[in-house]
């Protein structure tokens, strides 16, 4: 008979490599998440910093420039809505590889084009890759880090801010160094190419069965039939209106107030720089408090004060307004945490995330477009900032609606009734995830 000690030794020898493999796999996933997240806003903020040069180089009117700055939110809404369908057919790792490849190709092709239509079309390809990745990251975090979802969410939203800051700060200097705005935009394709690498080994492996079950169950969730789903979408949309209007137009506002192009780009970067420590703090705080209302209202108020300051004293108080705006805009990671807090099941979280982000970004498309039209029509910033202040009022109201501790699954109509033949499989999927 084999001594018990030998049996234990054999078990240990098997478990140690398995545990080491899991650790390595977790580190690789975390690195992949961070690299993807760094790319999710860089393509937008680098364009904001160089918008004046792009307008001149491509002969864009103010209205057409508004279309260019609105394009991210439109792409995020349209392509983000297709992500649950894609996840039912392809593994998340494979979709992230395709998303980052699309981002590389779109960025390279748009900087070698001279026609406005081609620039917009290739930008849409790049943004499609970002849109799918936007929805996938919360799902990947939930699957690989279920016990540290709040912390990892904070890490990847911080990474998004780092990428946005670096792109805004470096776009003008890089363009000046190479003598063209095209270099200031195109250099970020290199970082997107690097983000492909961690996901390749996982993309080449067979998709786990659990992931397939999760995404199949997620297809039956219907946030669009609930008050919670619409409140989350409106809140996400209103904060995105301000966020993308700022990324697209704030550098131009600072230029108009008397700053040099390089200083204006640095002030735009300062907005995200001030948000960096709070991007980790606010998600952790949101996960601990019972009611999100005071936190959401406080951050919304900071953004409102910044808008008023930008209208009254854009030059003398520029750094203060950038600081208030950066801190206030950390309501974005709070909204991502709120999605996880307002659904009990994995399928509910995935569906609520897809619905809130796709519909929210569709609302957000109005922000940069209206800012561009009003700026072109009035030649000033009072009217555009007034529109953004109105959006904050709606944001505050929607924030109060989702701040109460309730869950998507408890609302009538949250889930479609499965067919009789699929009821057992649906129950199996839910229990497997739990």
Rounded mean pLDDT, 285-313: 91
3-state secondary structure of 415: strand
Q: What is the pLDDT of residue 23?
A: 64
Q: What is the pLDDT of residue 328?
A: 95
Q: Which residues contact 198 (CB under 8 A, 6 or more apart)?
A: 28, 29, 31, 32, 35
Q: What is the pLDDT of residue 400?
A: 92
Residue that is written with structure tokens 């180089």 in the block: 57
Q: How far apart are CA 215 and CA 231, in angstroms?
A: 23
Residue that is written with structure tokens 């409106």 in the block: 234
Say yes or no to pLDDT of 144 above 50.
Answer: yes
pLDDT in tens, 22-52: 666 788 999 999 999 999 989 888 888 888 8
Q: Over pLDDT 90: what percentage of the chain?
A: 36
* Closest C-alpha among 54, 49, 76, 77 to residue 65: 54
Say yes or no to pLDDT of 181 above 70.
Answer: yes
DSSP assignment string, 186-212:
HTHHHHHHHHHGGGHHHHHSPPPHHHH
Q: Which residues contact 76 (CB under 8 A, 6 or more apart)?
A: 127, 130, 131, 134, 357, 358, 361, 364
Terminal alpha carbon distance of the chain: 40
Q: Over pLDDT 70: what percentage of the chain?
A: 85
Least confident of 357-361, 376-380, 393-397: 357-361
Structure-block tokens of residue 327: 């801190």
Measure the CA angle with vertex 360, ends 354 and 366; round to 5°.
Answer: 145
Say yes or no to pLDDT of 208 above 90.
Answer: no
Say yes or no to pLDDT of 156 above 80.
Answer: yes
Residue with the larger pLDDT of the pair 379 and 404: 379
Residue pair 267/281 in contact (Cβ under 8 Å)? The answer is: no
Residue pair 37/157 in contact (Cβ under 8 Å)? The answer is: yes
Q: What is the pLDDT of residue 421?
A: 42
Q: What is the pLDDT of residue 91?
A: 85
Say yes or no to pLDDT of 254 above 90.
Answer: yes
Q: How many helices (H) and strands (E) does the chain have?
A: 20, 0
Q: What is the pLDDT of residue 52?
A: 84
Least confident of 212-216, 234-238, 395-399, 402-406: 212-216
3-state secondary structure of 413: coil
Residue with the larger pLDDT of the pair 325 and 203: 325
Structure-block tokens of residue 237: 């949309």
Q: Which residues contact 312 (CB under 8 A, 6 or more apart)?
A: none
List C-alpha distances in Å: 125 to 114, 130, 316, 392: 17, 9, 40, 30
0.75 exceeded by pTM: no
Q: How far apart are CA 42 and CA 189, in angstroms?
A: 10
Measure the CA angle with vertex 237, ends 235 and 243; round to 5°.
Answer: 105
Q: Which residues contact 142 (CB under 8 A, 6 or more apart)?
A: 149, 340, 346, 349, 350
Residue with the larger pLDDT of the pair 82 and 323: 323
**Residue 116 backbone zone (phi > 0: left; psi -120 to 50: alpha; other: beta):** alpha
Q: Which residues contact 385 (CB under 8 A, 6 or more apart)?
A: 307, 308, 310, 311
Q: What is the pLDDT of residue 206?
A: 63
The pLDDT mean for the chain works out to 82
Say yes or no to pLDDT of 418 above 70.
Answer: no
Q: How far apart are CA 383 and CA 2, in angstroms?
A: 83
Residue with the larger pLDDT of the pair 409 and 127: 127
Confidence bin at 191 (pLDDT 50/70/90)? very high
* Closest C-alpha among 121, 128, 160 to residue 42: 160
Maximum average pLDDT range among 3-12, 61-70, 322-331: 322-331
pLDDT in tens, 346-367: 677 778 888 888 888 887 777 7
The domains of the chain, with CATH numbers, are 28-412 (1.20.1250.20)
* Closest C-alpha among 94, 153, 154 to residue 129: 94
Say yes or no to pLDDT of 92 above 90.
Answer: no
* Closest C-alpha among 176, 189, 186 to residue 53: 176
């Amino acid at each position: 008979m084999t001594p018990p000690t030998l049996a234990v030794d054999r078990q240990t020898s098997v478990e140690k490599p398995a545990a080491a493999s899991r650790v390595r796999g977790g580190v690789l996933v975390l690195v992949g998440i961070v690299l993807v997240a760094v790319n999710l806003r860089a393509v937008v903020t680098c364009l904001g910093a160089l918008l004046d040069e792009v307008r001149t180089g491509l002969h864009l009117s103010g209205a057409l420039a508004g279309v260019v700055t609105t394009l991210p939110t439109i792409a995020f809404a349209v392509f983000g809505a297709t992500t649950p369908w894609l996840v039912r057919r392809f593994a998340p790792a494979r979709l992230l590889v395709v998303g980052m490849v699309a981002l590389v190709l779109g960025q390279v092709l748009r900087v070698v084009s001279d026609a406005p239509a081609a620039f917009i079309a290739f930008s849409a390809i790049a943004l499609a890759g970002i849109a799918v990745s936007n929805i996938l990251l919360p799902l990947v975090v939930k699957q690989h880090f279920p016990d540290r979802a709040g912390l990892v969410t904070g890490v990847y939203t911080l990474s998004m801010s780092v990428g946005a800051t670096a792109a805004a700060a470096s776009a003008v200097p890089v363009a000046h160094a190479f003598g063209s705005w095209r270099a200031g935009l195109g250099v970020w394709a290199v970082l997107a190419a690097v983000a492909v690498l961690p996901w390749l080994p996982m993309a080449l492996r067979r998709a786990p069965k659990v992931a397939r079950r999760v995404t199949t169950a997620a297809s039956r969730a219907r946030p669009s039939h609930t008050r919670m789903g619409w409140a989350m979408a409106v809140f996400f949309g209103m904060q995105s209106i301000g966020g993308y209007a700022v990324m697209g137009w704030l550098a131009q506002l600072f230029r108009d107030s008397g700053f040099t192009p390089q200083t204006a780009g640095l002030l735009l970067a300062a907005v995200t720089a001030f948000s960096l420590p709070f991007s980790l703090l606010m998600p952790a705080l949101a996960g601990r408090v019972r009611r999100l209302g005071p936190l959401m209202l406080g951050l919304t108020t900071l953004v409102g004060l910044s808008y008023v300051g930008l209208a009254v004293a854009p030059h003398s108080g520029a750094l203060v307004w950038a600081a208030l705006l950066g801190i206030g805009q950390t309501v974005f990671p709070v909204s991502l945490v709120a999605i996880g807090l307002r659904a009990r099941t994995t399928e509910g979280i995935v569906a609520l995330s897809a619905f809130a982000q796709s519909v929210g970004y569709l609302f957000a498309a109005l922000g940069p477009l209206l800012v561009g039209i009003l700026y072109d029509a009035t030649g000033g910033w009072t009217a555009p900032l007034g529109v953004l202040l109105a959006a904050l009022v709606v944001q505050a109201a929607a924030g109060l609606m989702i701040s109460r501790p309730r869950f998507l699954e408890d609302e009538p109509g949250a889930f479609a009734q499965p067919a009789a033949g699929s009821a057992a499989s649906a129950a199996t999927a839910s229990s497997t995830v739990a």
